[in-house]
Structure 1
Amino acid sequence: MSKFLGRIFGYKAFKITMPILDLLLIHGAYILSFYILKDSLDNFWINYQSYWAILPYIIISFILLEHIFELDKPKDFSFFGNAYTVILTIGSLLFITMAISFFFREFAFPRSILLLSSSIQILAITLLHLIANRSYFKVNKGKSVLVIGYEKSAQALAYKLLESRGMWSHIKHVCAPDYPKMYELIDDSDITFLTEDVNEIDKQSILFYCVERDYTVLYQPKNSEILQFNANFLQIDDSPVLDVRELGLSPGSETIKRIVDVVLASIAFVVFIIPIVIIYLILKIGGGSAFYVQERVTRDNKVFKIYKFRTMVKNAEAMSGPVLATEVDKRITKIGRILRATRLDEIPQVYNILIGDMSIVGPRPERPFFVEQFNKEMPEYNLRHRVKAGLTGLAQVQGKYNTSVKDKLKYDLLYINGYTLALDLKLVMQTLNILLRMSSTEGVKEVSELEKEIENLTRR
């Protein structure tokens, strides 16, 4: 029964089923809106025909938006978490639909229908996803997990899984690759996770063991493996080889990326000019400088001056020296916490983008002090400087503010290695989805409340 339910509520089934159900609700909301407003429309049939004329474009637009905002993926959100994502998606669809109706001269498509249908869509799709997400996690959350890795890294991964409270949070065992009864633990678990520090021989042995038995196995990739993701398959005589491509953007891609940066940054400046003035005045009235200027590193290790709204007390690092922000950082002011939570402190970086120091999307720039330190710890860290630093990036969308430098580097390498203009636009849209999520703006975690639980699960 559990396997049957697992297939019905499985990840692939969710990704296929939800877009179809959402599209049915989108269409149903329009039909219902026409029915409700039928008597108030002077040219009902003309209005109705206008809707059918642009329906194919609405469908295509929604499918793209659903993918961008990841509505087609199971998320363990609350009602308001689901509603927030749906509002962004439907709001974007409303804007696009109005633009499409104007572009194709379908002026007979009433704005009253658009507004009423959007309201119905938000309510219906939010309820659908709340039910679907809870059903998915109710069926899949009970799967037992085994984490294999050496003590420090294994416990760190176990902590993340437990903290996620998602389908992988039911950890049953934690052990090292040399644990004598490791394969018995694999047999006793539904899912096996391997940490990055598992050596190649052990990893291959475990992978083959799991694949032969149709066990689910996941592993943390090494940076060298990430560089191989887009490698081209070649054949030399009768031997298969991989051609690992050069890391970075082509001259053509850089030119297009720069044009998009200037256009989007110019639009952002116009849109945010009033908030910029208001925030500037609030910070000046509070005393001290409104802006915070600091040296950062961008492409080719070029050092530039980044501009932010000040969120910390004056001379915050005068006594402590350069340090990373912590989860509970007393240096952050009250207004600073609001600015950080909403990412409004980053707005002045539009200037950095316009003058060419940064891009809209790219690895977040770090201070020279930490770049030098990270380069010593991880020689491959310097690879992230193959492209310009960005206002947002894959690490910011998929990770958190407190995500480790090591994991952020993996995201940065994934971004550079898989760069496309479509990916940039997707990340810009997804950034909107995390602006108000507090978990994305926390500092570096200091103390784990789950350490004792993980310790009890560790097999030695």
Structure 2
Amino acid sequence: MIKDNQKTLNRLHVVLDALFIVVTYSLVWLIMISGKVLPVTEGVVPAQYYFAALLFIVPVYLLLYGGFHLYAPKRVQGRRLEFANICKANIIGLMLITFVLFAARKNGYLYHFSTKMILAFFALNIVMQALERNAIRLFLRSMRSNGFNLKHILLIGYSRAAEGFVDRVCVNPEWGYQIRGILDDHQPAGYAYKGVEVLGPIANLEVFLASNTLDEIAITLSIKEYMNLEEIVAACEKSGVHTKFIPDYNNMIPTIPFMEDLQGLPIIHIRHVPLTNMFNATMKRLVDIAGAVFGLVIFSPIMLVTALLVKVTSPGPVLYSQERVGLHNHTFKMYKFRSMEVQDPKKERSQWTTPHDPRVTPIGKFIRKTSIDEMPQFFNILVGDMSLVGPRPERPLFVEKFKEEIPRYMIKHQVRPGLTGWAQVNGYRGDTSITKRIEHDLYYIENWSLGFDFKIMFLTIFKGFINKNAY
């Protein structure tokens, strides 16, 4: 069983980390310092002092790695999170080494200890630790895919959560999860979902726990059966088997819920929106203003040419404004270059654009296809109606329609609408699935960061300008 060798694996990992730290440090010393310390001359730190520093560096770094969860099982741990933790641990390690060197120099010791070497060690150690952990990850996944290093799990309760867990395990054999079966009071014994059978009622749980062949229990009760949750948790913990809870919330709660501790009472927020934080909102607004000014300056020649072409090729105004729903359900006028013939506003408000729509002008087809018609929205961004990145705004008539048909549709109005968005760079523009678009919008809203915004803007350059679904 995996629980019998997990401690051994972790100890080997600690030893391997220590070895990598020593090798990385020695390599940097060999490249940058070794030629300068033989023979020893005045003003040069002897080699033994450099290597004596490892007596401080190795244990401190190993403690930091433990503190940043770098010895947590890699079964489903994301590479990006692991790399971020490697960087954090090494940054703090660098700060501690710098502090110690500063104190030593102030007292006249190790005055000539190479700062450049420590910086080089810092950079190379991050690379080496990332390579080491990725190599371990690949090795373990290869073992698990071939039936070794497996984690034996029993599911308690047949539900949407149980099906979701089985789905993910089936498509990720490298995780090494072996689901022994499901205990459930409503499905008959022998009923199977993707090869995972119901083994009997939940009352049989103590029999399985007594066999001592399980690594984990995953409680996947239907939301209707939560009255039994406390009793099941007590039985699992009494046996000493590691227990986890997979809630059957049917997407009511985000993947990473935002929680509060109210004097010992846990509170789970149904929806966490980082942009409700004043600092986050201010930073995003500053980026929006700077980006809008930059966009207007850079694209002004294209906008000028487009304005002339629209005016010359079709009678009517150059710009076209349309009412859209934005932040906190407030409506605003969104600007575009006019791409259609002038028409009755009452008819226009209730009509979608269709393939080969006769209302679209020849120049209109081009500017819609290339998204040039959206460029006047830089002015919307400047005045605060829109953002560079966010969910695309919709007309009031369709907002009323979609909010009744699509669950959680109105959550998109908790942030400013955007010129581009996560849904758009993933191909959900124009005549595409509204449900998929909302899923991507909600993911963006719940996982917002400035880095995420810059990523979307970068992807827009390659994926967002040309709209194959534009008519």
TM-score normalized with structure 1 length: 0.47
By relative contact order (CA 8 Å, sep 6+), the higher-ranking structure is: 1
TM-score normalized with structure 2 length: 0.46
